[in-house]
Each structure stands twice: as C-alpha cells, then as structure tokens.
Structure 1
Amino acid sequence: MIHLRYLELKQCIEDEEVKMDAPESAPPNLEKHGLAGKLEKVPHWFNSLDSLTTLYLHWCRLRLRDDFLPHIQALRNLGLLNMLNAYEGEGLDFLEGFQKLKVLRIRKEIVINKGVMPALQELCIFECQEFTILPHGWESLPDPE
C-alpha cells in the first residue's frame, strides 16, 4: 500500500466499531482519508499521516474525554476537515495547530482561539442552535485577498 493516496473506510453496522489498530502503520503517502463508523479511539498510527491534506470523520462518535483533537491538530498538512457526528459531547475547543486548514465543516458548538487557523477560507457549522454571534475576534477578520 505504499502508493495509496486515498483511503475510505465505512462501517455498515451502526453500533459495531471500526477496527483501526490492526495495521502497524499508515500508508506513507496517504493524502485523503475518510472514516465513517464508530471508533473506540483514534488509531495509534494517526499522527504519522504527514501527507494527509483531507480528513472526513463521519459518525465516529469519539469521546471528548479521550481528547482526540490533538491527534488531528498534529496533522501539519491538513487543509480540509469535515466532521459529521465525529465526537460525543457538547463542543470542541480549537486551541492550537491547524496552520494550513482552509476548510472546516463541523456540527455542534466550537471554540476557535485567535490565530489557530490563519489560512481558514471556509467555515460551515451545522446544527448548532446556540450559535447566534460570531466568536470573539471574528468580527474584525481581514477580508480575503
């Protein structure tokens, strides 16, 4: 699988977990990765996805108390992050990382610290009923070039 660039894994049985720890390492040139299905935890090889630019996490239902966000923040080339029911809990706090992230699509409440996503060009937030105002500092963002 050394030449594999795109990998999409889907679990068809809703409550059955996707087994992701079986491979010792991830394909080294993987650029796009899609996971659809319940995950018990982030795979141990996840931080080694240095070439990854696109990540889809759908219906993974990761637990926030396991703090999966640092694993995603460690993906230094990530440009698109799409999370649909990716985690269980109320909201996510984006505190650091994501220097190349251009597109973020997410459900639920989020907190993004100033300077965390300097390259962000598209933000889609779905099903967040508490979202009534822009996060602090976002009202003064510069216009795109």
Structure 2
Amino acid sequence: ERIARIKAETNGRGADIVVECVGRPEVFPEGLKYLRKAGMYLEPGNFVDCGSTTINVHEICANNLRIIGMNNHTHTKYKTVMEMMLRTKNQFPWHRFFSHRYPLSATEEAIKTSMTKESMKVLIDPWMDDSQFCAD
C-alpha cells in the first residue's frame, strides 16, 4: 500500500530520495521499492547493529540506485544536544559550524555540496525563504 502511494504521488516514477530513519533493518528492502531509477537511498537509521535483512542486489543494479550509509553518533543524544544548543545559542556561534545553508527547495544541490571537499557541515533549513538563498 505504501509503495503504491509513493508511485501514485510521483506519477509512477518513484521518489528521488528515500531517507530511512526508523532504525529497523526489515524496512530497508521496502524503501528500495520507493525509489525511481537512479534514485538515492540515505541510511542514517541503522547506526547500531539491529540485525540483518534480505535484499535483492539485482534490484539495486537494475535501477542504478545509490545507497549512502551514515553513522557518527547515537540517537539518544539528539534531544540533549539540541537542548544545549538552544540554551547556549546567544553565547556560542553555532551557525559557524555550517559551511553551507540551503532552503528545502535546493535539497539536491545541498546533498551534492555535502560531498565536496569545500563543505564542512551542510544545513537544509526548511524555514529558509528561497529569496534568502544565493547559490555560489
């Protein structure tokens, strides 16, 4: 049902990008079916070993899919860190950690930029107005 919904919303094409944030390996194969040909699958959800799952590797090759795994910290620390950042936002220049900032409409460009040597931390700001954005 979810796969049909994605296909219907994209005129049968499939999603450009799928981000798996659930952290359950058994959802991984379904996420692959959401993608369009040459789509990108971002996998930050399984950053601890939750077991394995079965996938059809041919599906990846036949559809020219890109899979990117990400891992650098545990999910239990997000809330604590965000609260600390909010508490200290007037004392510490957190914005200086971000080398690039993009509106939601420029997500593809943000992802491409994040893969360059010139980027440190790329921020996609869903509240950023497109008129505030200036491409390099």
TM-score, with normalisation over the residues of structure 2? 0.32
Larger Rg: 2
TM-score, with normalisation over the residues of structure 1? 0.30
- Structure with higher helix content: 2
- Structure with higher strand content: 1
